[in-house]
Structure 1
């Protein structure tokens, strides 16, 4: 079935390829900037439901519903995610997802969307939107910690808001994965591109030159040492989504002004939960949310020397807004 095909009942199918053209960073980031302050309060997002499928291999089914009470965002959305961690040993993706968009006025199915691609696009756009307020305007060096599926999306999104980035350094526990990603990005770069892509084996050797340090790993132990961050650095933490996971140490949080994507991060992000429990920082030390930054309620970077930290865990609100933009852009283009 081709991208944009109509399923029975008038439901549109949007695959990964079509989503990449419908939701480039140049469209999705401004959409979040304008719509998050006006719509986030009107979106209902119950806590994610998780069901154990097979406890012996930790496979599970997750449901993430949301719906809007705003007439200008007339949608219901649900992301259905399967987590099969043992798939990695079979060479298969451990996470698969589908997203379904409905009309909130009639309940009709509007679109079936590749949920995995939607998540990659919206997650990277959220990080980049935060960096728009928190990273230095003259950022030149981006350090990407992790070389998984999300890494190239984060690199593209950060470059969209900080086009002055001229050097991208990638670290991964598996050196070959970092090397492969560098090669891919070099091939994708347009002729005449002025960005140097490289990989390193020892993260500590380069962390101190990063203007933006973006982390997307599943680490349970701190990778980024706060003491090595340079004045003016922006630390973007994407990987952890449970209290057991942690990508930076407490010193990074103490040295930086900390922001989160949404309130659930205070209870789900391992870096924050652990620091609260240890008394290193308190909830009051978290300055604000992405909505606060986008809406102008909180000031982002205040000086060139300040260290900033942004921690995201993801939420159904941005899924719904990304689904809205993909669907409406597709419908406009098909008429």
Structure 2
């Protein structure tokens, strides 16, 4: 029987201290990671099925199945499972909780990118959005920069309070780091060294006039061409990096819309994450430049995390 790896088991197998450097190594390898397939399941509910495959010629193959149902009120809007297989034999190895795997690899990828792009002396992290991913972003970023203060901004204070509690009780969060809640987004943006956005907004939330020189922006929401988290002014004056060219140039609203309206040219997107990991691009060039990392998610990241989970499962069995 193919074993099922639960959410708790996935969490235990993917501490950020292990996952972040593993992702860095994975981005250096030859992994086939096609752009994800998206299929509309229901026009009435606007539900979508996403298929995200990736494989190594002499290693493992994985496929993540994701359903997104924005109108869910009684259940989470996103569900996911992950199946890991042996590439050469095709034998299924394990079925895993895909939601925890996705959350952790997403946050770890943002932190990995920050290690190349944000200022090394960054100390103040602003989290824009207070959903389920927000606490993980806060914790992961603390693994690549010495963050002394985390500020949370969200539209509902109650959700921000819940987010703050989740951050403070997270076993991987540094106990000396302060966590605050803000209702003044403009002022918080002006004070932050790193701004991490994880929203489903279709209109810009963070404006270029609010962001000071030297700030790094980590844009995790905006995973469709219709979504936006920052305005044209900010995109135009920033140095732009992406997780993958293939995904960001077709799916990321902050990129796609700016390419279409002429605010960005293709040459303005200077590197994808693999180029940073392989030292093909040196990342941040000056202390005063504004940098943006736009991610939409890559199946390579899922496969990396799934391999770690499989390894941990075998070690426990042995």
TM-score by length of 1: 0.91
Residue 248 of structure 1 aligns with which residue? Answer: 230
Residue 83 of structure 1 aligns with which residue? Answer: 68
Cα distance change, pair 201–210 in 1 and its aligned pair in 2 (3 A): same
Deviations 1:53-109 (A, max 9, x none): 33211123222222222x2xx11111111122221x22x101100000011111111
Counterpart CA distance in 1 for 2:141 and 2:186 is 21
Instruction: Check if 1:183 corresponds to 2:165.
Output: yes
Aligned with 2:97 (options 111, 114, 123): 114
Residue 4 of structure 1 aligns with which residue? Answer: none
Aligned with 2:18 (options 27, 33, 43): 27
Alpha-carbon contact 2:41-2:47 (below 8 Å) kept: yes
Alpha-carbon contact 1:44-1:68 (below 8 Å) kept: no
Counterpart CA distance in 2 for 1:44 and 1:23 is 21
Residue 307 of structure 2 aligns with which residue? Answer: 324
Instruction: Check if 1:149 corresponds to 2:132.
Output: yes
Tell me the SS of whatever aligns to 1:160.
Answer: coil
Tell me the SS of whatever aligns to 2:240.
Answer: strand
Instruction: Check if 1:306 corresponds to 2:294.
Output: no
Tell me the SS of whatever aligns to 1:331.
Answer: helix
Instruction: Check if 1:167 corresponds to 2:156.
Output: no
Q: How many residues align?
A: 317
Counterpart CA distance in 2 for 1:18 and 1:96 is 17
Residue 53 of structure 1 aligns with which residue? Answer: 41
Tell me the SS of whatever aligns to 1:206.
Answer: helix
Counterpart CA distance in 2 for 1:300 and 1:160 is 18
Aligned with 2:50 (options 42, 62, 67): 62
Tell me the SS of whatever aligns to 2:213.
Answer: coil
Cα distance change, pair 151–44 in 1 and its aligned pair in 2 (3 A): closer
Alpha-carbon contact 1:118-1:322 (below 8 Å) kept: yes
Residue 273 of structure 2 aligns with which residue? Answer: 290
Deviations 1:236-275 (A, max 9, x none): 0000111100000112222211100001201211011111
- Cα root mean square deviation, aligned: 1.6
Structure 1 residues without counterparts, runs of 5 or longer: 1-7
Cα distance change, pair 108–333 in 1 and its aligned pair in 2 (3 A): same
Deviation at 1:189, TM superposition (A): 6.7
TM-score by length of 2: 0.95
Counterpart CA distance in 1 for 2:69 and 2:226 is 18
Cα distance change, pair 255–146 in 1 and its aligned pair in 2 (3 A): same
Alpha-carbon contact 2:168-2:175 (below 8 Å) kept: no
Instruction: Check if 1:218 corresponds to 2:200.
Output: yes
Structure 2 residues without counterparts, runs of 5 or longer: none
Deviation at 1:192, TM superposition (A): 8.6
Deviation at 1:190, TM superposition (A): 8.5
